[in-house]
Amino acid sequence: FTFVYYSGDAAFRDKLPCLSARKSRLDTGRKSCHYLYQYSSNTTGIWSGAKDVDTKRKDNAYKHPNSYGCAVVEEEGVYGKHDIELLYTDYRTCAVLKSTLLGIQMWVSSIHLKEAREIPWLCTIVYDLATDKPRQVLYDWKECPQRLKCKIK
């Protein structure tokens, strides 16, 4: 999945441009996932990493866990817990998330972005209903595809 836009602090887009991520391992016993991510701030390099994420189901309306927690660096070397709530997903092409750090977030399947070159309309509606703040675009339609080809799908 590719992080397309969000409603939080505009400075974040300079830290992780063209960010994409995928689940690499699910541990149902520990209720956690292991995610791989990558981003590219220029045409000559691609950076990647991994992050463990705790999962839980906060709402029985969801078939799968709808809340995620991970450690993030809040200040120099100081880690804090970052909770992310799933607002909507179609389980195939898009997900709308909410967090205190980034506000409302739009994530779209990398394959869908490449093939359809658009954001699914229902996710767009949910995003727009969830916030009245301006969109901070993280996925640049002209730049990101030209950077090193994403291997994460």
How many Cα atoms sit within 13 Å of 18 on the Cβ side? 23
Instruction: Evaluate if pTM is beyond 0.85.
Output: no
Q: What is the predicted pLDDT for the residue at 88?
A: 93
In order along its 153 residues, the chain shows pLDDT tens digits of 999 999 998 988 888 888 888 877 777 777 777 778 888 877 777 888 888 888 888 888 877 788 888 776 656 655 667 888 999 999 899 999 999 888 999 999 989 988 998 999 999 999 999 999 999 999 888 888 777 564 443
Q: What is the predicted pLDDT for the residue at 33?
A: 75
Domains within the chain, CATH numbers bracketed: 2-49+85-148 (2.40.128.20)
Q: What is the predicted pLDDT for the residue at 130?
A: 97
What distance in Å separates the CA atoms of residue 139 and residue 69, rounded to the nearest whole number?
23
Q: What is the predicted pLDDT for the residue at 151?
A: 47
Q: What is the predicted pLDDT for the residue at 134?
A: 94
